Chain A
Amino acid sequence: MSVGLITSVVFIGGGVLWILVQSVKGRDVDRRWIFLFIGSTVALALLFHIRFGEKATPIVKAAFNQIENLPEGASVLIAFDYDPAMEPEVGPMADCFIRHTLARKHKLFLMTLWATGQALMTNTVEDVLKPEFPEAEYGTDYVNLGYKVGGFGVINVVLSDFRAMYPTDAHGTLLDSLPMFNKVRSLRDIDLIISIGGGTPGVKEWVLFAGNRGNIPIVGGTAAVVAPLLYPYYPRQLVGLLGGTKGAAEYESELTGNYDRFKDMDTPALRMMGPQTMAHVVVMAFIIIGNIAYFRSRKREGK
């Protein structure tokens, strides 16, 4: 328990209590108190870096376990199908997946169906993969296939053969010269596909064209707006799903909790969730207090 957390809890608890007492007494709480209160809640949460141990919901836990339980050296493909606008939401997921798979010593195949995903993918490799896993060797432990035009058509082609779509990787190296491709010919040789994205083509296309046809397990990571549309695919067609900042935060918390080496890693999603959670609690408290006050006043009028 940090000083910050105690301060914030005392502040929020006290504030809610005060507004509750005022409301129950039938006094109108000036909305400026409400404004001050919600503003300082967010400010305090940011100032004291408040985070909550986001306990993974089963749907996120399932995604985590899927990677956790693959045998060492399994082949995992991560598709970066998003653009900078979605990056704040799904970028943290990509970081987590890369950390987790490499820590489990899986072989990592990176690709994107979005032209805008290329740069984001390269950034992630440079900022997370290389500095944190200097032991990972290109071509043996991970490969960057880059971007290819063709949308979900690309999925169709790589389902039967990687080399047909990617004669070379993103750096122009022939696939045949990369040790990783000795055993892997097509998508069917991949043990798990992780699709990160929020548009089309995205998680849905991977499910329809790779998961269903090739019978390959798929984990999805997606923007909050799209997540509800994907719930129906869980658990049969999607083995796990991360929805928005919340899903990313849960995964981060799972990762920091289970791996010592990730204890101090950067957790942007968890950081974002602190203010979010506190603000939501406060807004919900307002709704409840408003209703208590309303029913009290109706009772009084009834008398």
Chain B
Amino acid sequence: MRKLALICVVMVLAFLPPPLLGEVDSALLQDSVTVDLPEPPAPPGNVTATDNPNDNGRAIRVTWELSADDTTGMKNVIGYRINRAEARDAADSLWTEASDILPSGTTEFIHSGDGEEDGPDYFAKNYDFYYRVHALTADTFSVSAVVGPVQAKDNWYNTGVTFVLLFVALFIILTVTFVRIARKGKELYIRPLAGIEAVDEAIGRATEMGKPTLYILGLGSAADIATIASFAILSRVAKKVAEYQTPLLVPCYEPFVMTVAQDTVRAAYMDAGRPDDYDEDSVYFVTSSQFAYVAGVMGTMIREKPATNFYLGMFHAESLLLAETGAMIGSIQIAGTDQIAQLPFFVVACDYTLIGEELYAASVYLSREPVLLGTIKAQDWAKAVVVGTILAGLLARLLVDLDFIKTVFEVSV
């Protein structure tokens, strides 16, 4: 992420015309011999230019050693600037500025661009370039030796994220292993979750009161993990509702979510053996505008007075609006979201709240399918690995000042 930001900054810098010191530069070039020309600083040494790794072949990394007058010597170097040309012995006018002024103390610059051939940032792939570095003082500059040729190349594996790859592998192995164990019929324990245990009771209450059950899937898209978890819960809730023969209301914010929810609910009614009770209009679209949706749902609540409200999925500022309206009409409310900012409002205003990961696990609780239980077990093991890693990392840092483990997690983008 940081690197991405850096690249963005660099690209912005490259995009803008470089007015700084431009005057000084050209003035120096024109009046090549003036009497009181200040003494130039020592040039930057040991310049290297290599293909920037782990990218799409549109960047070259330039490094150099600080001018002897940067932090030592005359100490008057205020910064560096990178120049690029297409030939080693190109005339000064053919060298283009590859960077803005980089602050003193800098020893690395990544010159990057994009693949748009007519664009201002075009950066040719597989093409020979030459680089040199200027050390600048307030009124003069010096030039390093030229390096090159160097080419920017496509890379086919991002070495910066190897540890992500390893963790993906570890996680797949854990999941597959525990799913196998679970399939063999081994009993796997899961701790009780209050919100889930209340589901049956809540729907039962709606039945007794002869009032509908309201299920809100949140503002997420059909592909958001919170929404997918919510579909799984909806499928169980709809089945119970069908068995108890109470009405179900599912107003939707996202059209795609609506289509999936319709399929899910219809299938649940079939499973319950009551396909004819399914009302096509019970799962409906309201609007894709956040507060208009909320206004609609609030209106529905106060008119239909559902006995039980489920808010499971992704929520934003509307969380408290829904939960307080629900409390106003005296519904039992079960909420769950992975949006940290909204959890406080659900916790305060609802009867039960599934916090973050609990929402994802809830469908497993409701179905108790061994395969899904296996995935929960795998998740817990991954968590144990994390706890172990944190402890080990801190210990290592305390004892031998090892920063290795920290660097593992600081993968680059």
Contact = CB atoms under 8 A, between A and B. Distances in A.
Interface residues of B, number: 21
Contacts of B24: 167
B78 A157 contact: yes
A63 B382 CA distance: 49
Interface in B99-113: 100-105
Nearest to B18: A149
B13 interface: yes
B104 A160 contact: yes
A150 B78 contact: no
B328 A165 contact: no
Contact of A157 (B9, B19, B76, B101): B101
B102 A153 contact: yes
B234 to A, nearest CB: 30
Given A164-B138, A165-B20, A151 B9 contact: yes
B242 interface: no
B136 interface: yes
Interface in B4-62: 9, 12-13, 16, 19-21, 23-24
B79 interface: yes
Contact of B78 (A31, A148, A160, A167): A160
Interface string A266-285: 00000000000000000000
A61 interface: no
B20 A167 contact: yes
B103 A164 contact: no
Interface of A: 31, 148-151, 153, 156-157, 160-161, 163-165, 167
A136 to B, nearest CB: 28
A164 B102 contact: no
Interface in B78-126: 78-79, 100-105
A150 B101 contact: yes
B100 A149 contact: yes
Contacts of A157: 78-79, 101, 103-104
A133 to B, nearest CB: 31
A156 B104 contact: yes
A118 to B, nearest CB: 14
Interface string B286-314: 00000000000000000000000000000
12 contacts: A148-B20, A149-B100, A150-B13, A153-B102, A153-B103, A156-B79, A157-B104, A160-B78, A163-B138, A167-B19, A167-B21, A167-B23
Nearest to B13: A149
A164 B79 contact: yes
Contacts of B9: 151
Nearest to A150: B100
A225 B56 CA distance: 37
A248 B181 CA distance: 62
Contacts of A163: 138
A31 B79 CA distance: 65
A153 B102 CA distance: 7
Nearest to B328: A31
Given A157-B79, A161-B138, 7 more contacts: A148-B20, A150-B100, A151-B9, A153-B101, A156-B79, A164-B20, A167-B23
Nearest to A185: B138
Nearest to A164: B78
A149 B16 contact: yes
Nearest to B17: A149
A150 B9 CA distance: 8
A105 to B, nearest CB: 30
B103 A156 contact: yes
Nearest to A152: B103
A157 B78 CA distance: 6
Nearest to B102: A153
Contacts of A156: 79, 103-105
